[in-house]
């Protein structure tokens, strides 16, 4: 069986309340050995950690404040989150970034929170997991000042074009490829065709953005093989190869044994 890593999944959210254990076990049966869990805000920390305690080998936590959760008090929130990096093994600072899709009210605070969390990633030598919505240029602008610092990370659910993708891979980042790659006229599919497999990792963003043929349903980590199959087709490679390369890329980035 092929072995995969879901590098971005929110299996601790209320959408999985009734069947969380079976969803994790189903993913493991589908060959998904590791599921990396990005945090959202202070409310999600405990449910996320509880899932990691329940499946210590398979579920791995990250810590950050999601850009849509950044409000005027973001500095106090980040100060309360930071001790978690000492308390538990965190695998990344994530997910952080800039989101200008819903609301631009706290744009300046989002930028500041993003920078603070990048500093945290550098301090703990962790990758940063970047959420971007209507904000690729703004994120590039922030990252430019960290060029040469050794900052590493992933552009989660990469939303940009091929030219922007090359900017991020030149910077030293990898691209998170999820269910969107299976959608008709997807820009992500064009990016996958043009960018080397050594810069790609797989993710679901469950419960959001399910791949074809599961559109309209709740996304799950067990759907990773559907995403891998599409990536394999786009790159004219076999799925075994894609599974191996993306798994090794993820192991290296997140320092998974």
Low-confidence ranges of the chain (pLDDT < 50): none
Q: Is 103 helix (H, G, I), strand (E, B) or coil?
A: coil
Find all residues with CB under 8 Å of 165, minimum gap 6, and list them.
158, 175, 191, 194, 195, 199
pLDDT of residue 103: 86
pLDDT of residue 124: 98
Query: pTM value?
Result: 0.97
Distance CA 209, CA 159 (A): 13
Instruction: Give the pLDDT confidence of 62-103 residue by residue, as tens digits.
Output: 999 999 999 999 999 999 999 999 999 999 999 999 999 988
pLDDT of residue 240: 97
Q: What is the DSSP string of 137-180?
A: HHHHHHHHTTTTTT--EEETT--S-HHHHHHHHHHT-EEEE-GG
C-alpha to C-alpha distances, 88 to 5, 57, 196, nearest whole angstrom: 21, 14, 34
Ordered structural domains, the chain, with CATH: 4-254 (3.20.20.140)
Percent of the chain with pLDDT over 90: 98
Q: Which H, E and C letters describe 1-58, residue by residue?
A: CCCEEECCCCCCCHHHCCCHHHHHHHHHHCCEEEEEECCCCHHHHHHHHHHHHHCCCC
Nearest to 156 by CA among 127, 178, 179: 178
Distance CA 193, CA 232 (A): 10
């Amino acid at each position: 069986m092929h072995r995969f890593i879901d590098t971005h999944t929110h299996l601790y959210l209320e959408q999985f309340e009734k069947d969380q254990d079976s969803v994790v076990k189903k993913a493991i049966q589908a060959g998904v050995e590791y599921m990396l869990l990005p945090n959202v805000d202070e409310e999600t920390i405990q449910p996320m950690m509880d899932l990691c305690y329940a499946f210590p080998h398979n579920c791995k936590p990250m810590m950050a404040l999601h850009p849509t959760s950044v409000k005027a008090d973001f500095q106090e929130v980040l100060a309360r989150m930071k001790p978690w990096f000492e308390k538990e093994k965190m695998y990344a600072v994530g997910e952080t970034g800039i989101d200008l899709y819903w609301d631009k009210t706290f744009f300046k605070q989002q930028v500041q929170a993003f920078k603070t969390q990048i500093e945290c990633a550098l301090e703990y030598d962790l990758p940063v997991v970047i959420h971007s919505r209507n904000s690729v240029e703004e994120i590039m602008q922030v990252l430019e000042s960290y060029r040469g610092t050794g900052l590493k990370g992933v552009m989660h659910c990469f939303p940009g074009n091929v030219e922007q993708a090359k900017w991020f891979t030149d910077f030293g980042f990898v691209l998170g490829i999820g269910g969107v790659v299976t959608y008709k006229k997807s820009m992500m599919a064009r990016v996958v065709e043009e960018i080397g497999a050594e810069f790609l990792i797989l993710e679901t963003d469950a419960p959001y953005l399910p791949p074809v043929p599961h559109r309209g349903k709740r996304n799950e980590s067990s759907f990773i093989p559907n995403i891998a199959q599409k990536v394999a087709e786009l790159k004219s490679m076999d799925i075994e190869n894609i599974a191996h390369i993306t798994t090794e890329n993820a192991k290296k980035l997140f320092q998974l044994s």
